[in-house]
Structure 1
Amino acid sequence: MIDPSKLYPCGRIARRRFLVRSAGGFLGSALGSLWANAGQLPDARLPGQAPAKSVIYLFLCGGLSHIDTFDPKDNKHAGKIMDAIGFGDNNAPMKRPVIPILRTYKQYGQSGIPVSDWFPNVGGVIDEMAVVRSMYCHQTNHFPAVLEGATGKPLRQFEHPTLGSWVSYALGTANKNLPTFVNIGRPSSPVQLTGGYLGASYSATPFQPGDTPIPDLVPPKGASAKERDRQAESLHELNKQFREDYAMESEIAARTRAFELAGNMMLTAPKIVDFSTEAQHVKELYGIGTKETDDFGRQLLLARRLVENDVRFIQICHSGGGNGGWDAHDDIRTHGPLCRAVDRPIAGLIQDLKQRGLLDNTLVVLTSEFGRTPWSQNTTGRDHNGKGFTTLLAGGGVKGGVIEGATDEVGYQAVEKPHYISDLQSTILKQVGLNHKKMDFVLNGRPFHLIEEGLGPINAILK
């Protein structure tokens, strides 16, 4: 048993002394397991310096309509009846009419890449972006497609980790005071956050939008320094005994390390989430202060500040929960306010990173679990479409102002240079310095591979 008299020694523990002692105590377990190493897959490292130090992975939950945004098609087939495959569990053949595209497209920049009127600000930075119009996946329902996009696996026989967890596991940390893998915003599925069989220690640390992105980070008002020091010393002793009793419980150990990580974050994170030091023109660049763009703009500005502090993988989910806000079955025009909410912040992020010299070593990815069909779902809405959709990439060694691949003339299926979702994952891994062919993990004698299908990195869009 712990001697209670030893938990509250007379006098106050010096804060600096406490931090030194904690390196071998309740913070030390996190430092040892998560940060002291340079990653768990040294053989997966590619030679030379990686183009990207950080990834900002922007995920639009629900299925962005590529043909209404970045993959223009004419309306000569509007009204034509197509053979359509049912969504969800209903895969029976059916007939549906092609509905017209109501958007107008404009060519932007020196590249002349056309972008719809729903994304005029992104159009303004399109010369920094590669537009991959030929992505596809195997799934047509939200949860399986999100799982496929996050883990590279079309089914979930096992608890597969998400891509950010693999990056965290393989590379380790670049900043011992912050998580390696962060999620901002509400995801579509818990799978997007999981460490899976890599262990809960490699799952995403969730940040939330608003004035307090990290819950319970700031100590309660009125708590004295003396009281906090005594609490920390007590926690150190309790955690020590707890780890001895439950050393084999990975979930419990991971939860303990998460709280210990929060202790270290108290020293660093408040400065990162405090936007008071940001110039007004920078906030305006992200749309902060404007009602429809304020929330997402704050999330992207936070992402830039995390990049500045060497967080490796920052995933930002927009309009998540349920099937996701981008799920436009009833009326494709529901995309309108969503596009306005993200267009200016995304362009602002690209501009801000470039102005600060961060874009070259930060890979920005904009994607969704799938696209939308050319045919009607409830008259003016569009159905799920995993056979063809668009992903945009910028920075981190990616060529700007280029287009890769194409869908057919109505935007239903990738027909030119098709890329399975794992090709995107392979590309991300290559740009952070990892060989996708060596991203392996052995569990109970069985090898698991992150990438099992696809062509590999999309080299045509890389410098």
Structure 2
Amino acid sequence: MHARDPHACHDFAPARTRRDALRTLGAGFGSLALGGMCADLSAAEAVAGPIAAGSRTHHPAKAKRVIFLFMHGGPAQMDTFEEKPRLSKDDGKKLPPRPGALKFNDASSTLLGSPWKFRKYGQCGKAVSELFPHVAQHVDEIAFLHGMHSRGQSHGQAVCMLHTGSDNLPRPSVGSWVSYGLGTENRDLPSFISLAPPSNHGGPRNYGPAFLPAEHQATAIGRAGNLGSGSVQHLAPPKSLSEQRRADQLELLADLNADYSGRIEAVAGAEDPAVEGAIRGFELAHRMAGVAPEALDLSRETKETQALYGVGEKPTDGFAKQCLLARRLCEAGVRYVQVSTGYSWDQHGNLKKGHADNAAKVDQPIAALLADLKRRGLLEDTLVVWGGEFGRTATAQGKDGRDHNPSGFTMWMAGGGAKGGVCHGSTDEFGAYAETGRTHMHDLHATMLHLLGLDHERLTYRHAGRDFRLTDVAGRVVREVIA
């Protein structure tokens, strides 16, 4: 499906227009908030994506929502989830030359064996590094993609490729495409929330809508791996502001926005996307004010659940709160939640300490997220995706580091229709290059959309004279990892 009129997909002929509602709302704006006005509008306008007029999805969906766990910096595949005995055996030897292979920045040609041992887990017998003993307990529910490869040897390129499908040009993020395609399950919360998103390597581009309508931008909470207060900034009005004063301000703001939007439409013959996005943003903010504080309140969780994730404990507390919050947001109806570590997985040196510290922070919280989703009946229709922007080299950089490697790495998926206990593809015997089951980043995105019931070739948006899509002109669904 593509939207010939970029805004028609959001207009379902409500009983009255937003502009009329904004102009006539009056004093009720403050006492009832904007949610009262929206209740008078068609419910479809509040929750539906552009394919709502049909079956809501292009094909039956296996997943309703996504939690993406972003390991910023690039974990090493051969030190985490893909055992390479030959690499350990040939530690200190030279990597055999490979015609046409990507030349890395400063990596030597000397092989560096993994400093961690691997054990087999689960009925599937999957080998997992001792870095991830908690996640290893869930291998029978995980589909491992060992033949991943991507574009972008630098972090800036690769991070944007992972989040937007483009390593150079501004494009809508994955979460924005999901929001655009499916809308929200809860009209009082954003459909896309990014927890502690990167402040570098693309920054807001990684959770922005680019040319999609502005309401599909993520609401960001925290930054650079730090959740901060865990609240949405500037959502609540100042305590010094009286209810009547707030009502007056909101009424004036609504009138100004409606008047300006009407004048633009009268001249241009169409709504101004920026103004409409701002109006929708204010509408959502007022609806959020009544429900977001409860959804974001981790103190409502039992002590047992908090302990399961590692809340209040070192070193897990920070990432544990993000994972627990992600589960709460999914329960509340958010379509796409991104959870980010800080820029910490980039071990050009001191690999053993760096990866050990990073894994200790995230292993228990991730395993707890999978277990908690499962026991609540949410894992079945919640797709959890784990990975970084690329992997690491099989050869050493300096004494004990690894360089960037977009030519072969591992990501994994669990729940939401992903087939558990399977490994698709592999890198070569040293872990250097994707060799079998090669899966490009476009393929991963196509598969994620497919599990959500969206056809990546049909979910398009017309911009600058052509139809754009998340996967550009490539991408295939990796059916081998679909249950």
Q: Provide TM-score, normalisation by structure 2.
A: 0.84
SS in 2 for 1:354: helix
Once the 2 structures are TM-superposed, how far is the Cα of residue 256 of structure 1 from its aligned partner? 4.2
Higher strand share: 1
Partners of 1:232 and 1:245 lie apart in 2 by: 20
In structure 2, list runs of 5 or more residues that go unmatched.
Answer: 1-22, 266-270
Once the 2 structures are TM-superposed, how far is the Cα of residue 33 of structure 1 from its aligned partner? 10
> Residues 265-344 of structure 1 correspond to what in structure 2 (within 5 A)?
265-319=288-342, 324-333=343-352, 334-344=354-364
> Residues 62-461 of structure 1 correspond to what in structure 2 (within 5 A)?
62-74=73-85, 75-82=88-95, 83=97, 85-87=102-104, 95-156=108-169, 159-187=170-198, 188-189=201-202, 190-208=204-222, 209-245=227-263, 249-319=272-342, 324-333=343-352, 334-452=354-472, 456-461=476-481
Please name the residue that 2:64 is paired with: 53
Once the 2 structures are TM-superposed, how far is the Cα of residue 85 of structure 1 from its aligned partner? 4.3
**CA 291–226 in structure 1, closer or farther in 2 if over 3 Å, else same:** farther
Once the 2 structures are TM-superposed, how far is the Cα of residue 179 of structure 1 from its aligned partner? 0.8
**CA 118–238 in structure 1, closer or farther in 2 if over 3 Å, else same:** same
SS in 2 for 1:96: coil
SS in 2 for 1:56: strand
Partners of 1:271 and 1:174 lie apart in 2 by: 17
Contact 1:423–1:458 (CA under 8 A) maintained in structure 2: yes
Once the 2 structures are TM-superposed, how far is the Cα of residue 249 of structure 1 from its aligned partner? 4.8
Render the CA deviation track for 1:79-101: whole Å, top value 9, x for unaligned. 1223574446x9xxx85211121
Partners of 2:372 and 2:189 lie apart in 1 by: 22
Partners of 1:266 and 1:41 lie apart in 2 by: 27
Partners of 1:408 and 1:95 lie apart in 2 by: 18
Partners of 2:459 and 2:34 lie apart in 1 by: 39
Partners of 2:293 and 2:422 lie apart in 1 by: 39
Once the 2 structures are TM-superposed, how far is the Cα of residue 255 of structure 1 from its aligned partner? 3.7
Once the 2 structures are TM-superposed, how far is the Cα of residue 401 of structure 1 from its aligned partner? 1.3
Once the 2 structures are TM-superposed, how far is the Cα of residue 50 of structure 1 from its aligned partner? 1.1
User: RMSD between aligned alpha carbons?
Assistant: 2.8
SS in 1 for 2:84: coil
Q: Provide TM-score, normalisation by structure 1.
A: 0.88
Contact 1:12–1:230 (CA under 8 A) maintained in structure 2: no
Render the CA deviation track for 1:383-442: whole Å, top value 9, x for unaligned. 000111001110001111111111101100111111111111111101111011212222
Once the 2 structures are TM-superposed, how far is the Cα of residue 150 of structure 1 from its aligned partner? 1.8
Name the aligned partner's letter for residue 460 of structure 2.
D
Identity %: 36
SS in 2 for 1:337: helix
Contact 2:443–2:478 (CA under 8 A) maintained in structure 1: yes
Once the 2 structures are TM-superposed, how far is the Cα of residue 309 of structure 1 from its aligned partner? 1.4
How many residues are treated as equivalent by the alignment?
Answer: 442
SS in 2 for 1:221: coil
In structure 1, list runs of 5 or more residues that go unmatched.
Answer: 1-5
Deviates more, 1:365-374 or 1:191-200: 191-200
Deviates more, 1:365-374 or 1:240-249: 240-249
**CA 18–34 in structure 1, closer or farther in 2 if over 3 Å, else same:** closer
Deviates more, 1:259-268 or 1:361-370: 259-268
**CA 265–413 in structure 1, closer or farther in 2 if over 3 Å, else same:** same
Render the CA deviation track for 1:327-359: whole Å, top value 9, x for unaligned. 111221211111111111100000000000000
